Amino acid sequence: MSAPAPTAPPAAPPTATRVLEFADVARQFPDGTVALEGVDLTIDRGEFVTVVGPSGCGKSTLLRIASGLDAASAGSARVDAERIGYVFQDATLLPWRSVKKNVELLAELHGMSRTATNQAALDAIELVGLRGHEKKLPRALSGGMKMRASLARSLTLDPDLFLFDEPFGALDEITRERLNDELIRLFVAKGFGALFITHSVSEAVYMSTRVLVMSGRPGRIVESFDVPFGSDRTPELRFTPEFAKLAGEVSHALREGHS
Amino acid sequence: MTATLETPTTTPVAAGTTPAPVVRRRRGRRAVNLVLPVAVFAALLGVWYAITYLVLDPGRRFLMPAPHTLVTDALLDPTITDKVWPALGRSIVVTFTGLAIAIVIGMLWAIAMSQSKAVESSLYPYAVALQCIPILALVPLIGFWFGFGFPSRVIVCVMIALFPIVSNTLFGIQSVDRGHHELFTLHKAGRTTRLLKLQLPAALPAIFAGFRISAGLSVVGAIVGDLFFKQGEPGLGILLSNFSSRLQGAPLFFTIVVTAALGFAVFFLFGWLSKLVVGSWYDQSRDR
């Protein structure tokens, strides 16, 4: 499926696993603000790409264009993913639906059969570790559990491309780190392509196969770092010299781009 | 005076009001909340007795009969209750018929407006007009067109009860969280799906707040219609009018109390229904 790009008819993807391809994407808002400029970005399945940048640098706009909620005003933004998962900053659970019913929502919207929906929801709930909480209403959940439910909701679609808009920004550090590990586990198991927005350098380096640094006004990608760590990441990784070195470089690039 | 019809109408009815939250107090304050109203009630009864026996001449006590005479001279008098209970029944039928029709029309009206800006801008002024025009001014016309029987009384109820349902339903639908809307947009939900799975459920607390206001207004409508269309089977309004013109103080006061009780009953019925339907997920207390 092709994202609402102004150009490029949906042609065969360059490689079988390419899920997102941005070429010279720009976004200018009607008030004249240039949120994005000259963004080139590709993501394949099995790649976890994180974008770090200061607030208001256009990170979210990038994600909105990738999801189709917004459209590029120039350049080509192609998404070759059958199904896209989008995890918002808020869990956006419907307060009147139980955890199970919330997790079933997207499958319902996509017209999956009753039994398939039910099975997909049960599997996703199992995957994010919410078994036993199916009947609870969102108000009875902690912030971390809400995020898990939100994650499970997208997982029911088995997306090829997963978009994350600072999903763990509002959580405490312990919960956040635990969810980082769980997300890595899901990523390794499912092999989707991921575009993850954060303003935490540590989270970016820990989660990703590639870290992109953005600068604001206009939003541009100023630097790209390949992350050399394998998929067997444990919390101790955060305290290794290699991790500190890379995080330092990313931080440096952030400051450079900011000044 | 203690018992009047004021309860249902004191709730503000305005376009765009938030569903008035019933603040559920914490346990510590509950005792105080029970004691104080009871104390005030006792004080008011005291004042009432004082007026009856100390202020009024014995010959003029029908103006304010002592509270206990409402029981002795009305509640326990079959000649009175044989009139009051059937009248109450008829008023209840009018109230609920009018309310039911207002709910159906009001919700459809609001849903239509929520689905299109053009419909909203063409129809909303009429909802406001309905609220601004004193319905009492239209009551004679309604009688003129539809006669003085049951249909006219119901029409009065509908007209009085309609606006809060329209405005609350519309407000509820339009207050849906933007993130939720984006979620539905992202997954290409159609208009009907969005309405049924997102907008209406999200609007339920506001819709029920509207029902509660309208239920009270519908009682007012039933009484007003009755008072004006003094023909046919009497409802509570006609009784009120008859008892007052015959200077029957105790029966008059008793009927007022019954009317007030009907107002309270429908108000709390809808409060209870609201709690039943949305209470599990909609937190009505702000201070928790």
- Stretch A101-110: mean pLDDT: 93
* Inside any domain, residue B12: no
Q: Give every strand in the sheet of A34-44, ordered side by side.
A: A34-44, A18-28, A74-79
B residues 186-205 closer than 8 Å to A (CB): 186-189, 193, 197-198, 201-202, 204
Segment B225-253, tens digit of pLDDT: 888 887 778 888 888 888 888 888 888 99
Chain B residues in contact with A101 by the CB 8 A cut-off are none
**Does B280 sit within 8 Å of A106, measured CB to CB?**
no
DSSP assignment, residue A50?
E
Q: Return the H-helix or E-strand segment holding A224.
A: strand A220-226
| Residue A83 in this model has a pLDDT that exceeds 70 | yes
Superfamily classification of domain A18-82+160-258: P-loop containing nucleotide triphosphate hydrolases (3.40.50.300)
Q: What is the pLDDT of residue B55?
A: 86
Q: What is the pLDDT of residue A79?
A: 86
Question: How many other CB atoms are there within 10 angstroms of residue A31's CB atom?
Answer: 5
How many structural domains are present in chain B? 1
Chain B residues in contact with A138 by the CB 8 A cut-off are 281
Q: Which residues contact A56 (CB under 8 A, 6 or more apart)?
A: A216, A217
**Does B187 sit within 8 Å of A109, measured CB to CB?**
yes
* Inside any domain, residue B39: no
| Residue B25 in this model has a pLDDT that exceeds 70 | no
Among B185, B204, B283, the residue with its CB nearest the CB of A139 is B283
**Which domain CATH number covers B149?**
1.10.3720.10
Of B176, B182, B184, B187, which to mutate for an interface test with A (greatest number of A Cβ within 10 Å)?
Answer: B187
* Inside any domain, residue B207: yes
Helix, strand, coil fractions of chain A, as percent rounded to 5: 40, 25, 40
Nearest of B167, B160, B191, B186 to residue B263 by alpha carbon: B160
Q: Which residues contact B108 (CB under 8 A, 6 or more apart)?
A: none
Weakest mean pLDDT among A3-17, A24-38, B33-47, B210-224: A3-17
The shortest C-alpha distance from B117 to chain A (Å) reads 21
pTM of the model as a whole:
0.80
* Inside any domain, residue B126: yes
* Beta-bridge mates of residue A44: A18
Chain A residues in contact with B183 by the CB 8 A cut-off are 86, 88, 92, 105
**Does B198 sit within 8 Å of A109, measured CB to CB?**
no
- Stretch A202-225: mean pLDDT: 88
* Inside any domain, residue B258: yes
Q: Return the H-helix or E-strand segment holding B36.
A: helix B27-50
Distance CA A19, CA A15 (A): 9
Domain of B272 in residue numbering reads as 83-278
The shortest C-alpha distance from B259 to chain A (Å) reads 36
Segment A49-77, tens digit of pLDDT: 999 988 878 888 889 999 888 998 888 88
Residue of B nearest to A83 (CA): B187
Residue of B nearest to A98 (CA): B281
Of A86, A94, A99, A151, which to mutate for an interface test with B (greatest number of B Cβ within 10 Å)?
Answer: A94
Q: What is the ipTM of this complex?
A: 0.84
* Beta-bridge mates of residue A214: A221
Question: How many other CB atoms are there within 10 angstroms of residue B260's CB atom?
Answer: 18
- Stretch A8-20: mean pLDDT: 60
Distance CA A156, CA A166 (A): 20
Domain span(s) for CATH 3.40.50.300 in chain A: 18-82+160-258
DSSP assignment, residue A219?
B
